[in-house]
Amino acid sequence: MKYLLIDTSTNALIIMLYDNQVKLDEHIRFGKQDHQAHIVPMIEHVLHAHNLKVQDLSGIIVGVGPGSYTGLRVGVMTAKMLSYATGVKLYKVSSLVFLSSGYQQKALIWHDARNDQGFSATIEKGIILDEEKVRHLDELSDEEKEMLILLSPDTIKLDGRVVIDKKEEVEDIFSLIPNYLRQTEAEKNLDKNRSHS
């Protein structure tokens, strides 16, 4: 069973290809809000390198957040489009689980959300032990600070086998929306304008 794994929740554009438990390919490109320009060519490159078409896949697994609003939209929309166009099954997984899948130990996984805030969850071997939420660094206990892994190009650790194991099938691809965890500035402004009118 061949799976295409995609995550765009951070400034890392990640494309991986697995056949059962074996990694066939992995491409990571770091950029700033330019995933849209590179995601489809990267997917095409990976599939072409292994003489595959999207239709040959058993499933597409996409990280649905939490994370960057712009980045998440690119990954989720691309995965939905590929699934819809080919009939290949679509699966979702937490981006925090995806990006920390290579860690064995229990850790507080933290993706920077600016202003000393982060998208976070306590994860052990791909299992979320609490819940994904936005927290402030000041809220963390000493124990949590010791377990903290700040996601960055140097700390992202991937194991596609864990991602495949934790995937959830998306029954209705049209209803799949990214897990933003909080309003964007645009949404906040819209709400403000509505309350004033």
Chain segment 3-15, per-residue pLDDT in tens: 999 999 999 999 9
The pLDDT score that the predictor gives to residue 186 is: 45
pLDDT in tens, 169-184: 999 999 999 999 875 4
Kindly state the average pLDDT of the residues 123-130.
97
The pLDDT, as a whole number, for residue 152 is: 95
Cβ-in-10-Å burial (0-12, 13-18, 19+) of 53 comes to: exposed
CB under 8 Å to 150, separation ≥6 — which residues? Answer: 110, 112, 118
- Judged by DSSP in three states, 153 sits in coil
Whether 160 contacts 46, CB under 8 Å: no
Closest CA to 160 of 22, 11, 1: 22
User: Does the pLDDT of residue 148 top 90, yes or no?
Assistant: yes
- Flag whether pLDDT at 195 surpasses 70: no
**What dihedral do alpha carbons 15, 41, 12, 29 form, nearest 10°?**
100
In the chain the domains, ranked by start, together with CATH numbers, are: 2-185 (3.30.420.40)
Would you mind telling me the total number of residues written for the chain in this entry? 197
Please measure the distance between the N-terminal and C-terminal CA atoms of the chain and give it in whole angstroms: 54
- Rounded to an integer, what distance in angstroms lies between the CA atom of residue 47 and that of residue 73? 22
Tally Cβ neighbours within 10 Å of residue 175: 7
Share of the chain above pLDDT 70, in %: 92
- Helix intervals (H) in the chain: 35-49, 69-86, 95-99, 142-147, 160-165, 185-196
Hey, what are 165's tokens?
């194991």
Could you read off the pLDDT of 3-54 as tens digits, one per residue? 999 999 999 999 999 998 999 999 999 998 899 999 999 999 999 999 999 9
